[in-house]
Amino acid sequence: MRFTLRSLDGETVERGVVDGRWTEAGGLAGESFGTDLYALPGLVDSHAHLATAELNFEPGVLGDAIDRARDALLAGVTLVLDKGWSDTTTMDVISTLDRSERPEIEAAARIIASHDGYYPDFGQEVTGEELDGAVQVEAESGAGWVKLIGDWPRRGVGPLANFTESELASAVARAEQHGAKVAIHTMAHEVPSAAVRAGVHSIEHGLFLTEDDLGLLGERSGMWVPTVLRSEMTLGQLGADSTGGKLFQEGLGNIKSLMPLAIEAGVHVLAGTDLVGAPADVAAEAIALSRYGLSNRQVVDAVSSAAFEATGRSSSFEIGREANAVFFSATPVDDLAVLEHPKAVLRLGRLR
């Protein structure tokens, strides 16, 4: 089968598909699919939790997680970065569901936190001295990621760091030795700076990153997944006049001031659902980033090419690469709402 792949800029290339990979189109008979459509290599949810559909902190149900993975693919998502859960449900999705029926999945297994540093009895609770060992276990158990809870609110005190900067640096080194990247949940003031200095690969939420942090993170093409819809939802739940609500208002204001600077610094700003909807709904998070200072083109990059590049993948349709694409009736750069309505999805050479 032949495909016409029209880029966001209107340039087109012709490709064929053999054994699920792009090939030259020359010599292939028949009409070309996608002639009047625009194509991306796929959408990406960079902070997913396939194990569940809501913030319930219950064990995942494999059948439901498989349904979410399938739904994500139909919505145009061809890559999911799952940031862990209390169990290994997402690992079971990877091993159970054929790759052609789901997005590509990179994932953390069990989330790691300190004692009293997260929801009780959820994930692993370790001391700083135990962190390296837990990271090694999870790096070996996961699919390319380890997830740490960097800070958590304590009653009457506010959010406090769960681990020291030196402990984080050691954890990053241990993860890298075992082929994994580290993502860190952080909503406190000082922790994102410590995490960036420690070499953490992806900052999740990052309400209080600084301009200096962006410079360091950008130098190594690091990732920032702001999850603005999750923070807005939490603000609404806490109430704007509560102590926590004021913290989130301050943090969201900081995100708005820093997000354009992050792009300039070379940071990969990415879109992630974090249980505000499922991975199939990641376009809504991407669109929300436009309210925080990103241009339409930067929004599209955040939910597509930036994530592919941040994870070492090509965002082009190079011959020999796996034949994945999502097709739209118009370029989403002109109208971001187009991202929510793909016309067709190609996964490993199979149209959906």
Rounded to whole angstroms, the Cα distance separating 149 from 92 reads: 23
The range of the structural domain enclosing residue 7 comes to 1-41+316-352
User: Are 166 and 295 within one domain?
Assistant: yes
pLDDT tier, 342 (very low <50, low <70, confident <90, very high otherwise):
very high
> Hey, is 205 helix, strand or coil?
strand
User: Are 53 and 191 within one domain?
Assistant: yes
Q: What is the mean pLDDT of residues 290-305?
A: 98
User: Are 141 and 190 within one domain?
Assistant: yes
User: Are 258 and 289 within one domain?
Assistant: yes
Rounded to whole angstroms, the Cα distance separating 221 from 212 reads: 14
Domain count along the chain? 2
Strand pairing class (21-24; 43-48) = unpaired
pLDDT of residue 57: 85
pLDDT digits (tens, 9 = 90+) for 92-127: 999 999 999 999 999 999 999 999 999 998 989 999
User: Are 293 and 275 within one domain?
Assistant: yes
Supply the CATH number for residue 327's domain.
2.30.40.10
User: Are 58 and 100 within one domain?
Assistant: yes
pLDDT of residue 255: 98
User: Are 36 and 107 within one domain?
Assistant: no
Residues 6+ apart with CB under 8 A from 4: 12, 13, 14, 32, 33, 34, 35, 37
User: Are 202 and 330 within one domain?
Assistant: no
User: Are 113 and 259 within one domain?
Assistant: yes
User: Are 31 and 52 within one domain?
Assistant: no
pLDDT tier, 156 (very low <50, low <70, confident <90, very high otherwise):
confident
Q: What is the mean pLDDT of residues 148-152?
A: 98
pLDDT tier, 31 (very low <50, low <70, confident <90, very high otherwise):
confident
pLDDT of residue 27 exceeding 80, the answer is: no
DSSP H stretches of helix in the chain: 62-74, 89-96, 131-141, 165-177, 191-198, 211-219, 228-238, 243-265, 282-289, 296-302, 305-310
Rounded to whole angstroms, the Cα distance separating 150 from 32 reads: 50
pLDDT tier, 352 (very low <50, low <70, confident <90, very high otherwise):
very high
pLDDT tier, 55 (very low <50, low <70, confident <90, very high otherwise):
confident
In order of 17, 31, 73, 196, 319, the CA distances from 212 in angstroms are: 45, 52, 37, 10, 39
Spatial contact of 111 and 118, defined as CB atoms under 8 Å apart: yes
Nearest by Cα to 18 from 266, 348, 241, 312: 348
Terminal CA-to-CA distance of the chain, rounded, Å? 14
User: Are 331 and 278 within one domain?
Assistant: no
Model pTM score = 0.97
pLDDT of residue 29 exceeding 80, the answer is: no
pLDDT tier, 220 (very low <50, low <70, confident <90, very high otherwise):
very high
pLDDT digits (tens, 9 = 90+) for 165-203: 999 999 999 999 999 999 999 999 999 999 999 999 999
User: Are 250 and 200 within one domain?
Assistant: yes
pLDDT digits (tens, 9 = 90+) for 256-284: 999 999 999 999 999 999 999 999 999 99
pLDDT of residue 1 exceeding 90, the answer is: no
Rounded to whole angstroms, the Cα distance separating 139 from 167 reads: 16
pLDDT of residue 169: 98
Supply the CATH number for residue 90's domain.
3.20.20.140
Rounded to whole angstroms, the Cα distance separating 229 from 231 reads: 5
